[in-house]
Structure 1
Amino acid sequence: CEELKISQRTLEYIFKDYYQMSPQKYFKHLRLHALHKELQQKNKQSNLSDITQEFGFYHRGQLARDYHKRFGEFPSETFRR
């Protein structure tokens, strides 16, 4: 922000205008997609909880809701396939 000589809030507005979502939602979106890809490719001997925590998801209930909303299935379903 200092280099651009704009406030953090102004940068957030610009970001939201461009991506149609806040920076926080955008990065959550990226993490969800990265997790989805990882669950599709992961060795099934791994622990689902450990994998989700690697991507910064610590609240399983919230993750399940967000993941299901985005992909139409729960993380455990993707992981089992």
Structure 2
Amino acid sequence: MPSSASTSRVRACTTAAREVLAPSASRSSTTTSTPASARVPGLALCRYVLRLPPVVAMTPPQLIADIAPTLQRYLTSTQPAA
């Protein structure tokens, strides 16, 4: 059973992801926000709930460097990801 602190962190990450990934008039919500909205909560799940050692061992700057290019591509691409 996850601790209440882990649950709170996952909830906070999910809330932040929803705000960041809210559909914009300039992009289709189904082609950009769906893959991106799965990535952020998935990372939170792996790090704070499942506590997967490789993900837990990463520092915040490493996590950002790892996930940022993918999120940026999902959110700014004009074509659906293949």
Report which of the two structures shows the higher radius of gyration computed on alpha carbons. Answer: 1
TM-score (norm 2): 0.33
Q: Relative CO higher for 1 or 2, CA cutoff 8 Å, sep ≥ 6?
A: 2
